[in-house]
Amino acid sequence: MNINSKIYFASDQHFGAPTPELSFPREQKFINWLDEVKHDADAIFLLGDLFDFWFEYKTVVPKGFVRVLGKLAEIKDAGIPIYFFVGNHDLWMGDYFQKELNIPVYHDNQEFTFNNKTFLIGHGDGKGPGDLGYKRMKKVFTNPFSKWLFRWLHPDIGVKLAQYLSVKNKLISGAEDVKFLGEENEWLVQYAKRKLETKSYDFFVFGHRHLPMIIDVSEKSKYINLGDWIGYFTYGVFDGLTFELKEYKN
Ligand SMILES: [Mn+2]
């Protein structure tokens, strides 16, 4: 890491929901945040559910999000690395981000080391015990045959259907229960503790819970949940030594 620079983390923007019109001010706020952090960012991590629904056809991507995509392109082109992890709402990402924006897309947790600190980073869905309904659902959604079937639905029908399910039924989100379960019972706390049995990490950084929290999972390791950009507008900052959660107020 460069001296005086920082690594930023944000997740769960769910742009497009509940409607494009209502999502727009949140998109603008996120763009303002990107404009602010780009000045001292060494890297920016987006940990999933940037879109409330995303599906890539062979030659077509969903309408909208032009300003967000443009801002990400601008920052990436200026030489700041951006890493994108898919969430459960945008897990059908193909190679569009990679090809169009030159931004790598990760479909599972990934380890990183910055300043001798080790990170395990991901969206966090379907990890740890429980969430069995969602895990079953994810198998269906990631199955090549169901993806193939969905791709052959006309996009005007497919996207409408998916948006309906996403916003109204919470079918795609699974049990996104935003009630804090207590430090011991949070699935991702249990997941982190199990990971520590085989390897040491300094920071576990996830989204998905929509609840900003920093919890000690051992004497030297912390689990951080980034919150969301629906009600909290929170983000993570690593300055080379410590990790902080902050709220974007502008
Ligand atoms: Mn989410």
- How far is the centre of ligand 1, averaged over its atoms, from the C-alpha of 88 (Å)? 7
Half-sphere exposure of 171 (CA within 13 A, CB side): 11
Judge residue 154's burial from the number of C-beta atoms within 10 Å of its C-beta, 0-12 exposed, 13-18 middle, 19 or more buried.
Answer: exposed
- How far is the centre of ligand 1, averaged over its atoms, from the C-alpha of 3 (Å)? 33
Each of the 250 residues of the chain gets a pLDDT tens digit; together they read 888 899 999 999 999 998 899 999 999 999 999 999 999 999 999 999 999 999 999 999 999 999 999 999 999 999 999 999 999 999 889 999 999 999 999 999 999 999 999 999 999 998 888 777 778 778 877 888 888 888 889 999 988 888 888 776 554 444 455 688 888 889 999 999 999 999 999 999 999 999 999 999 999 999 999 999 999 999 999 999 999 999 999 7
Give the Cα separation of 218 and 200 in Å (integer): 10
Give the Cα separation of 227 and 233 in Å (integer): 7
- For residues 85-119, one letter each, b for 16 or more C-beta atoms within 10 angstroms of the residue's C-beta and e for the rest, the string is bbbbbbbbbeeebeeebebebbeebeeeeeeebeb
- How far is the centre of ligand 1, averaged over its atoms, from the C-alpha of 206 (Å)? 11
Which structure tokens are listed for 225?
């949940």
Give yes or no for a contact between 73 and 54, defined as CB atoms under 8 angstroms apart.
no
- How far is the centre of ligand 1, averaged over its atoms, from the C-alpha of 166 (Å)? 11
Give yes or no for a contact between 205 and 47, defined as CB atoms under 8 angstroms apart.
yes
- How far is the centre of ligand 1, averaged over its atoms, from the C-alpha of 41 (Å)? 24
> E-assigned strands of 4-126?
6-10, 41-46, 82-85, 105-106, 110-114, 117-121
- How far is the centre of ligand 1, averaged over its atoms, from the C-alpha of 119 (Å)? 21
Give the Cα separation of 241 and 117 in Å (integer): 8
Give the Cα separation of 185 and 187 in Å (integer): 6
- How far is the centre of ligand 1, averaged over its atoms, from the C-alpha of 42 (Å)? 25
The confidence score (pLDDT) of residue 250 equals 78
Give the Cα separation of 77 and 14 in Å (integer): 24
Give the Cα separation of 89 and 176 in Å (integer): 12
- Beta-strand relationship, 110-114 and 105-106: unpaired
Instruction: Record the pTM.
Output: 0.93
